[in-house]
Structure 1
Amino acid sequence: MTGTHPDLAFAHRLADAADTIALQRFSSADTAWRAKSDGSPVSIADEQIEHTLRNLIQRERPDDGVLGEEFGTSGRGRRRWVIDAIDGTASFLAGEREWSTLIALEEDGAVVLGLVTAPALRRRWWAARGTGAWTQDMDPAASTTVQRVTITGASSLGEAAVGIWPPPARLSPSNLAIAARLAAAVRRTSPETDWTDATRSSSPIRKPSTGTGTCHGALLIATGQLDAFLLLGAGPWDIAALVPIIEEAGGTYAELADTPSADTASALFTNPDLHQQIINIANHKF
């Protein structure tokens, strides 16, 4: 799955480097962090991983640009690597295993390759255009068999389990309305909360992927635990790597039009049967 695709092989080497740093920090319970301007945490591991991957890309792909969550854009050209050093920093700092490194490659603005590595879960997912989507148990004691990822799931909203993130208190009024309409139409949401009121929950709300054996809501579709995942506001580094994985597995991706700025988007990942139904609800066409 990687031997005939040099960029995918390189992405795996980037992931190996990220895994080594992240696991060293994670196993030593290194919880040093600072708050970013939006209040979210960034750890030493986030910054060290992104620096390392940028250096590797500069050395081995000097003509390629890089976009990372922590240090922005560098380089120009038709190819750009998109990196989220640790997706799920709060989980990482809390000693929980559902965190990952996201690596994607864009060519002429289109994502052509995506890889998600979750070393604490000993699991990796990846895809390149035209090659299918794949996953592998990275436990050295386990079989190294690579398995193809294929998406199935409910064909109607009334039967569907749908992940939505972030929780109501962090949503804009327009996105809260979308979440409430969707929650009213489906069998269940993850997390299970009141999506009509941003002030009602009195306890912390956990991500859909918490405790599920995966690390990102979109991958719950690939593992058959959800039928759709709606991410209402995220940076390109949160989304890019997931797009080819979900689409090569037979799913769909759509970017909702109502976004707060050029640097964020609202992403819908789902199986094909639910795609238009959810788009209609998001656009208030039902």
Structure 2
Amino acid sequence: MTFPRPSHPAASSEPSIAEDLALALRLADAADAVSMARFDAADLDVSLKADATHVTESDLATERAIRAILEAERAADGVFGEEFGAAGDTHRQWIIDPIDGTANYLKGIPMWATLIALAVDGVPRVGVVSQPAIGRRWWGATGLGAWTGHADAEPRRLAVSSVDTVAEASVSFQSIAQWRDAGELAALERLTTAAWRDRAYGDAWPYMLLAEGRLELVAEFGVKEYDIAPYAVIIPEAGGRFTAYDGSDSISARSALATNGILHDGFLALLHTPDTTPTESR
């Protein structure tokens, strides 16, 4: 796969952003080989973590494969993965979710992905989302644009939609339970009432649909850095905006709000409109 070169190379003491992106794509290749080897296996080993979420043998093996390459080729960089935690320097930190959508993976549903990002001083600069069960991958890096490709096709540059009214927007809200647990059901009702179309596609896929110009908003709660870091690169490089739900530029706020950019402020205003439902007189 090919991609543009950066206009401003990194300092000689560090790899260039193009070199980091090339490595991230190779990490995704290695991850795909491991995760697909056991996808839909009848004897897949599955267990529960302390937080009552599932983890499979493939989650663990995929993250190990990524870490092994990083240890060999970027020993000075830090790593923060869902399954094995954080280690090393945080100046340059690789952020890994080996299988985002484990519940789908263990059910044999192909809508899951490996998420790989590189953050420099806490800011994501490289992002890759690989969805091998459907033969798709998306990637981007600061200043290099955002791209997508099939296994045997030339990469295509991504661009968000030009939809400029909420009434014409298609939105994805992930799950009602997330919004209920966050105390935002009223906001979800305002959103889905105002938008043209709403669906809960779930996990990585709707963010990539947004980057492709097929959706105008994706929002969710209860996410950690490894759940969302690549989107904070790919979506802005495709022309959109990615923030926390409150509009702050953070991947550590346990929420995400991605839009086509044009509608970002409008969606923020809609979602954060104070509830004016009258209360009973005392």
> TM-score range with shorter-chain normalisation?
0.7 to 0.9
> Where does structure 2 lack aligned partners over 5 or more consecutive residues?
6-17, 276-282
Q: How does 1:128-277 map to 2 (within 5 A)?
A: 128-138=141-151, 142=152, 144-168=153-177, 171-191=180-200, 208-209=201-202, 215-257=204-246, 265-277=254-266
Provide the residue aligned with 2:44 in structure 1.
31
Measured in 2, the distance between the counterparts of 1:272 and 1:169 equals 23
Report SS of the residue matched to 2:184: helix
Measured in 2, the distance between the counterparts of 1:76 and 1:226 equals 36
TM-score normalised to structure 2 length: 0.85
Which one of the candidate residues 118, 140, 151 is aligned to 1:127?
Answer: 140
Q: Deviations over 1:119-167 (max 9, x none)?
A: 11111110000011011101xxx4x311111111421111111100232
Report SS of the residue matched to 1:23: helix
Query: Counterpart amino acid of 2:183?
Result: S
Identity %: 37
Query: Counterpart amino acid of 1:147?
Result: R
The alpha carbon displacement at 1:177 in A equals 2.8
Report SS of the residue matched to 1:50: helix
Larger Rg: 2
The alpha carbon displacement at 1:264 in A equals 5.2
Measured in 1, the distance between the counterparts of 2:172 and 2:159 equals 18
CA RMSD of aligned residues (A): 2.3
TM-score normalised to structure 1 length: 0.84
Number of residue pairs the alignment of both structures matches? 260
Report SS of the residue matched to 2:267: helix
The alpha carbon displacement at 1:224 in A equals 3.2
The alpha carbon displacement at 1:169 in A equals 6.5
Q: Deviations over 1:71-127 (max 9, x none)?
A: 111112410000000011111111111111000000011100000111111111100
> Where does structure 1 lack aligned partners over 5 or more consecutive residues?
192-207
Residues 29, 95 of structure 1: 8 Å contact kept: no
Measured in 1, the distance between the counterparts of 2:113 and 2:194 equals 31
1:88 matched to 2:101: yes
Provide the residue aligned with 2:8 in structure 1.
none
Report SS of the residue matched to 1:120: helix
Q: Deviations over 1:200-222 (max 9, x none)?
A: xxxxxxxx159xxxx52211112
Measured in 2, the distance between the counterparts of 1:71 and 1:120 equals 24
Provide the residue aligned with 1:199 in structure 2.
none
Residues 170, 217 of structure 2: 8 Å contact kept: yes
1:108 matched to 2:121: yes
| Cα distance, 1:270–1:263 mapped onto 2, change above 3 Å | closer
Measured in 1, the distance between the counterparts of 2:209 and 2:59 equals 24
Report SS of the residue matched to 2:111: coil
1:59 matched to 2:72: yes
Provide the residue aligned with 2:24 in structure 1.
11
1:117 matched to 2:115: no
